[in-house]
Amino acid sequence: MHHLAGPASDLHGREFDWSARSVTVCDVTAPALVLGSTQPAGHVAPGAEAAGVEVVRRRTGGSAVLVEPGALVWVEVVVPAADVLWEADVGRAGRWLGACWAAALADVGEPGAEVHVGGLLRSRWSAFCCFAGVGPGEVTLAGRKVVGVAQRRTRDGSVFQCAVPLRRDAARLAGLLALPATDRSALAADLDSRVRPLSEVAPAALLDAFVRHLPSDH
């Protein structure tokens, strides 16, 4: 179990230790728009960095996530390729992790969460922002996304980058994307209907519950 704090560029730029399972809680110290590994740089609005938002690219898939201090719970889980939790099927690989989040949510007063076990559910905006779609292993509550998971797989293992939003940032995120004003408004409204920020949940309690539900066998 590790705790790291710093700008998103440092947190995403570090190397991973694939020798053993690990859980790292990341506390970002400045706002950043984090793009998926293959997302076009042209999705970022001109002037985003001038507005004080760092633009960073992560090495996991998916699309943009806005990270700001206190706005989300960010957890990274490493599973070595030799571990019993390793799953060759990318669509199944994160199901156990989603189940841990769902159980943790029930512990902190948010029962009924469901782990998505089908293929990627895309929307008009999912190529632009991660929370506009739902992927395998991600978690919803009453049909609204509460845990996003991006995955990176190598021959050495997998890393799962998990984000749990604590407050609404839809309009701010939309304003950082290279979209016409009408599309930004439509995107913000769409995200408000798809995402459930856990504003009433204490982050420390959620993290404690999540760790309790992680498998302990090796």
Q: Model-level pTM? A: 0.95
Core vs surface per residue 187-206: b (16+ CB within 10 A) or e: bbebbeebbbbbeebebeeb
* Strand bridging mode 32-35 / 54-57: parallel
pLDDT by residue (tens digit) across 110-160?
999 999 999 999 999 999 999 999 999 999 999 999 999 999 999 999 999
Cα–Cα distance measured from residue 198 to residue 208, given in angstroms and rounded to the nearest whole number:
15
The CATH fold assigned to 2-213 is BirA Bifunctional Protein; domain 2 (3.30.930)
pLDDT by residue (tens digit) across 82-93?
999 999 999 999
List strand residue ranges (DSSP E) for the chain, in order: 2-6, 22-28, 32-35, 54-57, 65-67, 72-80, 114-115, 139-141, 144-154, 157-165
Report mean pLDDT in 10-residue bins for the chain, 218 residues. 97 95 97 96 93 95 96 98 94 96 98 95 96 97 97 95 94 96 96 96 98 85
Q: For the chain, which residues make up each domain, given as ranges?
A: 2-213
**Residue 123 burial class via C-beta count within 10 angstroms: exposed 0-12, middle 13-18, buried 19 and up:** middle
Q: Given the structure tokens 């943790």, which residue do they identify?
A: 104
